[in-house]
Amino acid sequence: MSGFVFSEKPIGIDRGEDVYLYAKNGTEYLDFGASYACAPVGHCHPEVVEATTEQVERLMYVQASYPNAARTALYDQLADLAPGDIDNVWLCNSGTEANEAALKFSRHATGRSKIVATMQGFHGRTMGSLATTWKQKYKDGFGPLAGDVEFVPYGDADEMREAVDEETAAVVLEPVQGEGGVNPASSAYLQAVREATDEAGAAMILDEIQTGLGRTGSLWAADAHGVVPDVLTTAKGLGSGLPIGATLVKDWIAEDCGNHGSTFSGGPVATAAAGATLDVLTREGLPGHAAAIGEYLVGELESALGHAVREVRGEGLMVGVEVKRGANPILRDLAMDHQVLALPAGRSVVRLLPPLTVEREHVDAVVDALEDVIA
């Protein structure tokens, strides 16, 4: 029996260690998708395993209305690491829930309903987040979704300025679109979004669920662009694979956020895993490492693949290779012939999101494999 939603691949995975996943028969796979970017410090990092195991033995769950050291420590850590004057933390269990909360808080605090989102954007699959997601395929047959969403072309500051008005509760966007094809935004564009939302009294929600936690070369992509949003969302790698998301919020929204809640909000096991993940990330300077090794990766890809692909683009260790034919056959050959796992982003982009612990030798192996499959 297998699940009915995901189409499974013919590779059973049994065990993980740092940048590798292993099948039961011992076959070793280089995980250059980090399993949907969920292993920023590598699979089963010993420090994360230890903190999580210790917490499982102590207490697996207590409701969020009783203070607990693992949860309180994560509130402090995230508030401390969040950009600028973002000081309030809401914890949940996934990326889509983090965005769902961001949308609810922004509507409540502004007393407005209109949301501006971007074409090719991806924000999750629950009804509210799905309404702000662009691709029709994800929405077919599920309507009506939460209404009052206007889509604007990503990267066009004039269109953004025109769409954001006195009725706008929030703009939601990614600093680099992930699912949409690995499309980075410029600092000028993100700053224009910041100005337009400030002028209109609307919230700027930056979805850093894929770009955050060092992936693009700074702890948050916002840091590198000199932008402090009103709300920043994170999830994916936050708990090194345990389900946890966070909505980081400025005071003016936190003070008037309305009624919200979740049974598992800040459960001690997930918060212990997240705390240890952030400790390793910051102590080992992994965002800076991602910047350096990402630059090496893009350089090597460009010189190896050259005219065989349309474009190599990205920031840090969030890299897209736009190929001239479908990405899926390439991903299959990479996995079956070279034991390299990566992700698609749409039909024609091979997406690389390795653990931030990868070294040049791993990059070289992946570039060789891609050269063999593509060129």
Ligand X SMILES: *Cc1c(COP(=O)(O)O)cnc(C)c1O
Chain contacts with ligand X (rule: CB under 6 A): 94-96, 99, 122-124, 174, 178, 207, 209-210, 235-236
What's at 10, amino acid-wise? P
Residue 55 or 133 having the CB closest to ligand X: 133
User: What is 289-345 written as a DSSP string?
Assistant: HHHHHHHHHHHHHHHHHGGGEEEEEEETTEEEEEESS-HHHHHHHHHHHH-EE-EES
- Of the candidates 153, 266, 248, 138, the one whose C-alpha atom is nearest the C-alpha of residue 204 is 248
**What's the min distance (Å) between Cβ of 336 and ligand X?**
25
Residue 35 or 168 having the CB closest to ligand X: 35
355: three-class secondary structure by DSSP: coil
**What's the min distance (Å) between Cβ of 237 and ligand X?**
10
Residue 331 or 367 having the CB closest to ligand X: 331
Token pair 């932008």 is found at: 227
Closest-by-Cβ residue to ligand X is: 95
**What's the min distance (Å) between Cβ of 73 and ligand X?**
23
Residue 208 or 223 having the CB closest to ligand X: 208
**What's the min distance (Å) between Cβ of 118 and ligand X?**
11
Classify burial at 158, counting beta carbons within 10 Å of its beta carbon; exposed 0-12, middle 13-18, buried 19 or more.
exposed
**What's the min distance (Å) between Cβ of 21 and ligand X?**
19
Token pair 């994560």 is found at: 74
Residue 101 or 272 having the CB closest to ligand X: 101
CA distances from 205 to 147, 221, 222, 233 (A): 18, 13, 11, 8
Residue 98 or 163 having the CB closest to ligand X: 98
**What's the min distance (Å) between Cβ of 75 and ligand X?**
20
Sign for the CA dihedral angle at 105, 100, 184, 357 comes to positive
